[in-house]
Amino acid sequence: MAIESEVLVIGGGLAGLTSALSAAREGADVRLVSYKQSTLRNASGLVDILGYTPDGEGPLTDPYEAIPDLPDEHPYSTVGLRTVKEAMGLFDEVVPNYQGEHTETNALLPTHGGTVKPTARYPASAAPGLASDDRDVLLVGLESMVDFDAQHVAAHLENAGVPFDVRGETIRFPGDLRADAKVTRYAKLLDTNSEVPVRGRNKMARDALAERVNPLLEDEERVGLPAILGDDHARSVRAALSQKLGAEVFEVPMGPPSLPGLRLEDALFEALDEAGASIETGNPVADFDGEDRVERIYIEKNGAKIPNTADQYVLATGGLVGKGIESNRENVYEPVFDCHVDNAADRYEWFENDVFGDHPFATYGVATDPDLRPTDADGDLEFENVRAAGGVLGGYDYAAEKSGSGVSLSTGYAAGQSAAQEAL
């Protein structure tokens, strides 16, 4: 016996969640398994489609316009422009508190490093920070959060030529927090509006924070803080602060671990739960049975191998960072099904010497047929019932192109839909 489903998705990131969601909405009995908790909490929460072409042209105004000109091996070319748009439609439908769907053009958002980033969808909490808005901005950093140096970020933005005045100030977060307090600690204090000690008196956290920012505010209409403004009650935290400051408060998305990423993770898992899928995290897929078809996979728990069977499988295990693609001294490989990954025989050809060069390894991943089924070195199917989505795919450099989320969403959407149609 085994734990059974019709479509089994391996991977709990954006691609896996989208595959599972689209398969479940087709009516399939779906199960999603992930080695560990979703890594979406490492993501900024910004959802990009395409910011730059593979040749480095950009920032692009309209990502959809550039998609038809992408090389054949690019995952966007595999699924096609229409699928990308449909996938974005699914995202807009199931994820609340996001903006950007009103237009096909990219928005420009300030990052915590002070650059301006082209992106397609962004959390509502970041929306008032748009770089195309001409209202002046005060950025407020926290002494203990060295990842966001407000003065430095302000200077960078000014140099980037943003159409507004921007200033940076740094404060101490009220209360006796540790110098290395976790982002969840700030969020919890603001969510619950707990009392914090300020010069011997207890004050509500939201009031105390607003009181530290207020004297620094001149006539800016917008105030940006690092993305720590609440978790479960982020909207009311921001609304309360905006009201107390008389200026629109926004969050600047931060590096990992990231609250906007965490909120996105929660929203997608909730949608998947509502769609009736089964979800299991905590242990890796260690083995499988099957030759032309995958018959079953085994999840390993401390030596116990738990069999899981399905009619169709989606491989959404991520790329080099997510461990969906691994390497040793001889080879680059895909560890779950050992799908073929094209790579240079000499490992010194995997990279360029220039740090920011055009590294071949960045595009390493599995190649597929038009239905996203991985193919071997000869172009034949590895398995007839496995599809791949997201970072495990080759043929694109998500970091340089700013295409990671869009590729995950669109290939996840297509793989899940096709898997469900095949299974039903």
* Distance in Å from the first CA to the final CA of the chain: 21
Work out whether 36 is an interface residue with other proteins (CB under 8 A). yes
Distance of closest approach, residue 350 Cβ to other proteins, in angstroms: 11
**Cis preceding linkage at 75, omega within 30:** no
**Residue 3 Ramachandran class (φ > 0 left, ψ -120 to 50 alpha, else beta):** beta
Please choose, from the candidates 249, 388, 423, the residue with its C-alpha nearest in 3D space to the C-alpha of residue 314: 388
Binding mask 132-171 for other proteins (x = CB under 8 A): ----------------------------------------
Work out whether 281 is an interface residue with other proteins (CB under 8 A). yes
Q: Segment near other proteins (CB under 8 A), from 126-134, 214-222, 278-286, 413-421?
A: 278-286
Among 68, 282, 357, 370, the residue binding other proteins under the rule CB under 8 A is 282
**Beta-bridge mates of residue 30:** 7
Q: How far apart are CA 34 and CA 283, in angstroms?
A: 7
Q: Segment near other proteins (CB under 8 A), from 54-62, 81-89, 178-186, 216-224?
A: 178-186
Work out whether 172 is an interface residue with other proteins (CB under 8 A). no
Q: Segment near other proteins (CB under 8 A), from 32-40, 113-121, 245-253, 394-402?
A: 32-40
Work out whether 230 is an interface residue with other proteins (CB under 8 A). no
Write phi, then psi, for 14 (nearest 5 degrees). -60, -40
Burial zone of 307 (CB within 10 Å; 0-12 exposed, 13-18 middle, 19+ buried): middle
Distance of closest approach, residue 314 Cβ to other proteins, in angstroms: 18
With CB under 8 A as the rule, give the number of residues binding other proteins: 44
Among 71, 246, 257, 370, the residue binding other proteins under the rule CB under 8 A is 257
Among 171, 177, 204, 217, the residue binding other proteins under the rule CB under 8 A is 177
Q: Segment near other proteins (CB under 8 A), from 18-26, 99-107, 134-142, 301-309?
A: 301-309
Q: How far apart are CA 392 and CA 299, in angstroms?
A: 19
Q: How far apart are CA 16 and CA 317, in angstroms?
A: 8
Work out whether 304 is an interface residue with other proteins (CB under 8 A). yes
Q: Segment near other proteins (CB under 8 A), from 93-101, 179-187, 242-250, 383-391?
A: 179-187
Work out whether 322 is an interface residue with other proteins (CB under 8 A). yes
Among 81, 171, 204, 306, the residue binding other proteins under the rule CB under 8 A is 306
In the block, residue with structure tokens 């920012």? 213
In the block, residue with structure tokens 């979406």? 40
Among 41, 112, 373, 402, the residue binding other proteins under the rule CB under 8 A is 41
Residue 404: its H or E element: helix 404-423
Work out whether 39 is an interface residue with other proteins (CB under 8 A). yes
Work out whether 185 is an interface residue with other proteins (CB under 8 A). yes
Q: How far apart are CA 381 and CA 371, in angstroms?
A: 11
Q: How far apart are CA 152 and CA 140, in angstroms?
A: 11
Among 69, 182, 239, 338, the residue binding other proteins under the rule CB under 8 A is 182
Q: How far apart are CA 241 and CA 142, in angstroms?
A: 16
E-strand ranges in 62-147 read 98-99, 107-110, 116-119, 122-123, 137-142
Three-state DSSP string of 368-395? ECCCCCEECCCCCECCCCEEECHHHECC
Of 68 and 257, the one with the shorter C-beta distance to other proteins is 257
Work out whether 278 is an interface residue with other proteins (CB under 8 A). yes
Residues at the contact surface with other proteins, assessed by CB under 8 A: 1-3, 33, 35-37, 39, 41-42, 175-178, 180-185, 188, 192, 232, 256-257, 262, 273, 278-283, 299, 301-304, 306-307, 322-323, 348, 353
